[in-house]
Amino acid sequence: MRPIFLLRLHDHLKSLRFQVSLAILLLFFAANGFVYALKVDRVVEELGRIQADNESAYTEVGTLADAVDERFSVATRPLGTEFMAEGGQNWLDDSFRVSAETCEGAPDAGRRQTLNNWLEPYEMVDWVLIVRLVLSFLCVVLAYDSVSADLDSGLLRQALANPITRGRYLAGRLLADSAVVLVSLVCGTLVSLLILTASGAIEISAGLLGSYGLFLVASTLYAVTFLLLAMGVSALARSSSTALVTLLLAWALFVVVVPQAAYLLGVDPAQRRGAFYDQEWEHRRQVEQALEREGISLRSWDLGRPDGFADEREYARRLQEAEGVMDGLRREMYAQEARQFRQARARALVSPGAAYQYTVEALLGTGVPKVEHLFEQVWQYRDDLREFFRARDASDPESPHILFLPWYMSQRPLEAADIPRFSERHLRLADSIGRQLDAVLILIVEAGLAFLFAFWAFRRLDLTG
C-alpha cells in the first residue's frame, strides 16, 4: 500500500491538474479573507449602532411605567466563525423588539444587521460554500481517472500481479488523493486566516482553533465521499472520458440541483407572517370592542381609585387573556416557518453538499438552530423583565398594581442601570449537534456508502479486458 500511496502522491504533486486546482482553491480562500475582513468592520459598526440605540431607550426611561411602555431591542452577537460558516446570517432573523406591556410583548423578529436589504439574497463566500462547491468539484477533477488511467497504462495489472490485495491498492490511492485534497484545503484556509488576522478582523484563540479543527474533520469526510464516488465510477466506466461526464452530471445533480429543488418544493406561499399579524390584531380589536360595548374603559387615577380600579382590573384581565391567544399565534407563526424549513431541509439532505453544510453549522453552533435558541431566550427575557417590574411595582404602596398596563403601575423614578439587560447564550456544542444530528449521521452514512460503492466497483473490475 505504501508504494501505491507514494506513487500516486508523486503523480499528483507534479501534475498540472493539481497545481491549477490548488491555485483556484487558494484564490477562493483569499477572496473569502478579503470579503470577511470588510464584512467584520461593517458588522461591528452596525452592532455598535444597535447597542447605542438600545442604550438610549434604556436611559430615556424615567419611571417604572415608562419602562413597561418601552420596546427594547435585542440583537444576536456574531460567533466570530461566520467566515467559516455564515449560517444564513444575511437572511435569518437577527434581532427582536421586546416589551413588557400587555399585548405588546410578543417578540417581534426582524433583520437589522444589513445595510441594504436588496443585497440579502446573495450568498457570502464562506468556507462552507467553497468546500461544498469548489472543493467537491476539484475532487472529481482529481480522481475521475484514478482507476481507468491505471488500467489503460497497465500499472493496475502490474501492481496487482504483486502480493497486494485490491483493497490495499484502493486504500493507497484513496489516502494519496485525500492527503493532496487535505493539504490543499489547509493551505487555502491558512491563507484566509492570515488575511483575516492581518486585517484585525479575527484573533486566534483556543475556541477558534477548536472550531477550525471541527471544520476540517467535516470537510475531510465530505471530500473523501467525492473521492470514493469518483474512484467507483472510474472503475465501472473503464473510460476516463465517460467517468468524467458521469461524475460531472452527478455533481451538478446532487450539489446544485437537489438543494435548489428542495427549496422550491418547500416554499409555501400560504405561510405569510402578515396573515398571523392580522389575526393577532383582529383578536385584540374584537376584545377591545367587546369591552367598549360593556362600558369598560380605562379611567384616570382619580376616577378609578374610589372603586379600587375595578374597570381597569377587568380591562387588564381581558387583555391578558387576549395576550395568551396572541402569543400562541406568534409562536405558531415561527413554528410553521421552522416546519417549512425542516421539510425543505429533509429533502435537501439527499445531497452530500446539504448534509455537509448542516453538519458544519451543527459543529459551529450557527444556522437556524442558533436563531431558534435566540428566540427561546428572547421570550425568557420578556419574562425576566416582567418579573423585575412586578417586584418593583409591589414595593410601591401608591401603585394600583395593575400589572403591565403602563399607566396603572408605579410612577416612582427608576434607574436605567437597574433594568435587566439581555445577554445571549450561544448553543453548546452538544446541544447544537443534537438539534442537527440527522445531518451529521447522514454525512457519515453517505461517506460509508461511497466507500462500499468504490470497493464493490473495484472488486468487480475485470483486468482481462
362 vs 149: CA distance, rounded Å = 39
Q: CA–CA separation, 69 vs 72, rounded Å?
A: 10
Query: What are the tens digits of pLDDT across the range 356-365?
Result: 999 999 999 9
pLDDT at 5: 79
Query: What was the pLDDT predicted at 271?
Result: 60
Give me the numbers of helices (H) and strands (E) for the chain, helices first please: 18, 3
Instruction: Give the residue-averaged pLDDT of 185-205.
Output: 94
pLDDT tens, position by position, 66-113:
999 888 888 888 888 989 998 877 777 778 888 999 888 678 777 665
Q: Degrees (nearest 5) of the Cα angle 253, 258, 262?
A: 165
Q: For the full predicted model, state whether its pTM sits above 0.85.
A: yes
Helix (H, G, I), strand (E, B) or coil at 4: helix
Report the pLDDT averaged over residues 186-211: 94
Of the two residues 44 and 394, the one the predictor is more confident about is: 394
Q: What is residue 92's predicted lDDT score, i.e. its pLDDT?
A: 77
* Cα distances (angstroms) measured from residue 331 to each of 231, 258, 270, 392: 49, 30, 17, 29
Residue 25, phi then psi, degrees to nearest 5: -65, -45
Burial 156-192 (b: 16+ CB within 10 A, else e): beebbeeeeebebbbebbbbbbbebbeebbeebbebb
**Residue 123 predicted with pLDDT over 70:** no
- For the CA atoms of 415, 418, 422, 423, the dihedral, rounded to the nearest 10 degrees, stands at 140
Higher pLDDT, 321 or 147: 321
For the record, the C-alpha cell of 32 comes out as 473569502
Amino acid 111: pLDDT = 67
How confident is the model over 104-131, as a mean pLDDT? 70
Using CA atoms, how far apart are residues 182 and 217, in angstroms rounded to an integer?
A: 10
* Lowest-confidence segment of 106-120, 277-291, 295-309 by average pLDDT: 106-120
In 10 A of CB 47, how many CB atoms?
A: 17
Q: Where are the beta strands (DSSP E) in 263-361?
A: none
Instruction: Provide mean pLDDT across the span 48-63.
Output: 83
Which amino acid is it at 37?
A: A
